[in-house]
Each structure stands twice: as structure tokens, then as C-alpha cells.
Structure 1
Amino acid sequence: MHISFQVDSEQGSSRLDADIHTLIVAGWAGRDHAAIEHHIEELAALGISRPSAVPLYYRIASNQLTQAGQVQVVGPDSSGEVETFVFAAGGELYVSIASDHTDRKLEAHSVALSKQACVKPVATGAWRLAEVAEYWDELVIRSYIEENGETVLYQEGPLASLRTPQDLIAGYTNGAAMLPAGSGMTCGTVAAIGGIRPAQSFTMELFDPRRQRILRHSYQVEVLPEIA
């Protein structure tokens, strides 16, 4: 999948074209066991079975990546999840923000299939991972949804609550510090405030408190009829 990013770095802004042919969703990526258990219980309330291992790495078709501002889903039971998105391009790692949009009804049957059923929106902006790796734990991910005509904070938490990209990459590559060229990985999410639920609008952010900058992306959800 060919996607482009505007990379803001200490050297200025530049365009980066990336060909992502391997897409990985790192699930159950919390650093704190209690936080993982909370998310497992959230999903268990929806009838979703406990994971077989922690973390788990789901391969998703790379053509599911999109930078569009509107996505289409089948049925009313899907929802977004804000995650950092780390990808390899030109021999370097970059970080952006993505939504692991997932069909919750299908998730009760198969987590892997539910993740494949929905596209994965990703922002058009990115940072060099090397510039934020030293203070990675201070970065904050958050998301907002529209409910009853109001913008509501849906998720928020520091990346200190999640495994680092280096840890997740090593777990996927059997110890290597670098993702293979053309690979991208979402790196886990934080709990939903008020419970997991669908929304017609989803906004996600990655906040860098040291440099006072934000990666942000919003998308609208169009629900297609679920025909039996």
C-alpha cells in the first residue's frame, strides 16, 4: 500500500512516500498487567474471548490502510481505537497515529477476522521515532467521538502504560531492533472512557509534551446495511 506522510523533524518538514506491504496489529500490548486485564474485561463484556497470549501479533492486509477522511463499515457494531503506528521506510523508523477500527460483533467470533473486516485509518503526519524515543513514555494518545452532537473524550493515556515499540518489534521479529522494510505496526491502545461503543465520528491524537506538537487525524464512519 503506497501512502505519503508529512514528516516534521528537527531538520524541518518533508514528504515521505512509504510502501507498506506488511501490516501488523500488536494486540494486548499494555505494560501494566492490571491495565491489560481491564481491557480484556471490557471486551469480555461484549462476548469476546480472552487472548491466547500477551501480546499477540495480528497480520492485516496492507490494503486496509487508509488516510481517507471517511470510511465505510458493514453494520452498526464497529468502533475505533487510537494507537501509535510505527513503520519502517528508507532504513529508519517513523511514528504516526492510527485507528485499529474493529467490528465488535464479529470480534466475539474471531478477533483476527474482526480486525480484517475494517479499514485502518492512519494520519498523514509522522515524526522520526529517533526524535521521541528518549522520552517515549511521556507521549500521550487520546481520541474523541461525537455523541448527541457533542465532542466527547473517548480515550486518553500516556504511552508509559503500553509496551515500547522496541519491545513490540523485538517480540515480532524474534529479537531484531528494526522492522523489516515496508512494515508497519500499530502498538496498542488504552481503555475507552465509559466503555467501548460505536460513533459516527472519530478523532485521534498523539501529543508530544516536550515539543508541544500533535499528530491528529479525524474520520467519519458511514454504516452500510448488513444484509442477511
Structure 2
Amino acid sequence: MKLAFTVEAAGRTSQLQVDIDTFVIAGWAGRDRAAIDHHIEELAAIGVPRPSAVPLYYRVAENQLTQSPRIQAVGPHSSGEVETFVFTAGGELYVSLTSDHTDRKLESHSVALSKQLCAKPVGTTAWRFADVAGHWDELVIRSRIVEDGQQVVYQEGALSALRLPVELINGYTNGRPLPERCAMSCGTVGAIGGIRPSTSFEMELFDPRSGRSLRHAYTVDVLPEVA
């Protein structure tokens, strides 16, 4: 899958195109193991299978990646999750945004299948990872949805709550750098008020030191669920 980014670095912008043929979602990526175990039990109570490992790496088909501002999903049961999205190009690591859009109805049957079923929106802007690595824990991810005609904050949290991208990469590659043509999403924070669907999803990665943000938004067309 060919993706195109506008890279913002040193007050300038440049264009970058990458071909991705391997996409990995790092699940259960929080740093607080007690909180992860609590969440596992919460989900198990509603039928979501327990993960076989923490963190757990889900492979999703690269053709599910999209930079379109519009996706389609079968039925009204899917919802987005903001995550950082890292990839290597020319030997350098970059960071952007993605939404791990997931079918929540299917999730109780198979987490892996529920992730594969939905398109994964990816932002169109990126930063050099080296430019934010020194204060990574201060960065904030957030998302917004529309409810009753009003935009509300759906997720918000500092990246200090999640494992470092390098740690997640090492866990997947056995200590090697993230290969070219491989991209990884690096975990998410909890939904404020609980997981729920919305046909409008806006996501942001905010750097409080520079005041700049990466942003991306998309809408969801709900397709009929027929038998």
C-alpha cells in the first residue's frame, strides 16, 4: 500500500511516499500491567477473549490502510481508536496517526478478525521520530466524535501511559529496527464514557512543547447488515 505524507521538520515541510506491505497493531500496549489485567477482566466479562500475550501483535492486511477521509463499515457496531503510527523510510523512523477502527460486535468472537474487518485510516502528515523522541511521554493523543450534533472529546491521554514505540518494535522484531515497508500502530488510551460508535472521528497527536499537532479526520458510511 502506497502512503503519502507531508513531513513537518525544522519549520519546513517535505513530501514523503512509502510503500507498506506489513502492518502490525501492537495491542495491550499500556505500561501499567495491573491496569491492563483489570481491563482484560472487564472485557472478558462481556465476552472478549483474553490476549495470549501482553503486548500482543496483530497482523492486519496492508490493503486495509487508507488515507481517505471516508470509510465504509458493515452495520452500526464499529468505532475508532486513535493510535500513533510509526514507519521507517530511508533508514529513519517517522510518526503519524492512525485509527484502529474495529467492529465491536465481532470483537467478542475474535479480536484479530474484528480488526481485520475494518479499514484503518492513516493521517497525511508526519514528524521525524527523532524530533519528538526526547519528550515522547509528554505528547498527547486525543480523539473526538460527534454525539447529538455536538463534537465531544472521546479519548485523551499522554503517551506516558503507553509503552515506548522502540520497546514495542523490539518486541516484534527481536531487537532489530523496524524494517522498511513495515508500519506499526502503538496502542491507545481509554474511551471517555465507554466505547461507542460514531460516524465521525477526528484524531490528534499534540506536542505541548512546540504547540504543534498532527491531525486527521474521517467519516463512516454504515452499510446495511443483511442475511
Query: Secondary structure of 1:163's match?
Result: coil
- Aligned-pair identity (%): 68
CA distance in 2, matches of 1:43, 1:171: 24
2:157 matched residue in structure 1: 157
Cα deviation for residue 89 of structure 1 reads 1.1
Cα deviation for residue 46 of structure 1 reads 3.9
CA distance in 1, matches of 2:185, 2:217: 17
- Number of positions where the alignment pairs a residue of Structure 1 with one of Structure 2: 227
CA distance in 2, matches of 1:151, 1:50: 33
Q: Any gaps of 5 or more consecutive residues in structure 1?
A: none
1:170 matched residue in structure 2: 170
Q: Give the TM-score of the pair, scaled to structure 2.
A: 0.97
CA distance in 2, matches of 1:216, 1:54: 29
Query: Secondary structure of 1:25's match?
Result: strand
- 1:145–1:202: 8 Å Cα contact kept in structure 2? yes
CA distance in 1, matches of 2:56, 2:158: 21
1:8 matched residue in structure 2: 8
Q: Any gaps of 5 or more consecutive residues in structure 2?
A: none
Alignment of 1:52-131 (within 5 A): 52-131=52-131
**Structure 1: which amino acid aligns with 2:178?**
L
Q: 1:38 to 1:149 in 2, by over 3 A?
A: farther
1:203 matched residue in structure 2: 202
1:147 matched residue in structure 2: 147
CA distance in 2, matches of 1:101, 1:154: 14
For residues 45-67 of structure 1, what are the alpha-carbon distances to aligned partners after superposition, in whole Å with 9 as ceiling and x for unaligned?
A: 54212211100001110010011
Cα deviation for residue 152 of structure 1 reads 0.9
Cα deviation for residue 44 of structure 1 reads 3.4
Aligned Cα RMSD in Å? 1.1
Q: Give the TM-score of the pair, scaled to structure 1.
A: 0.97
Cα deviation for residue 41 of structure 1 reads 4.5
CA distance in 1, matches of 2:11, 2:153: 33
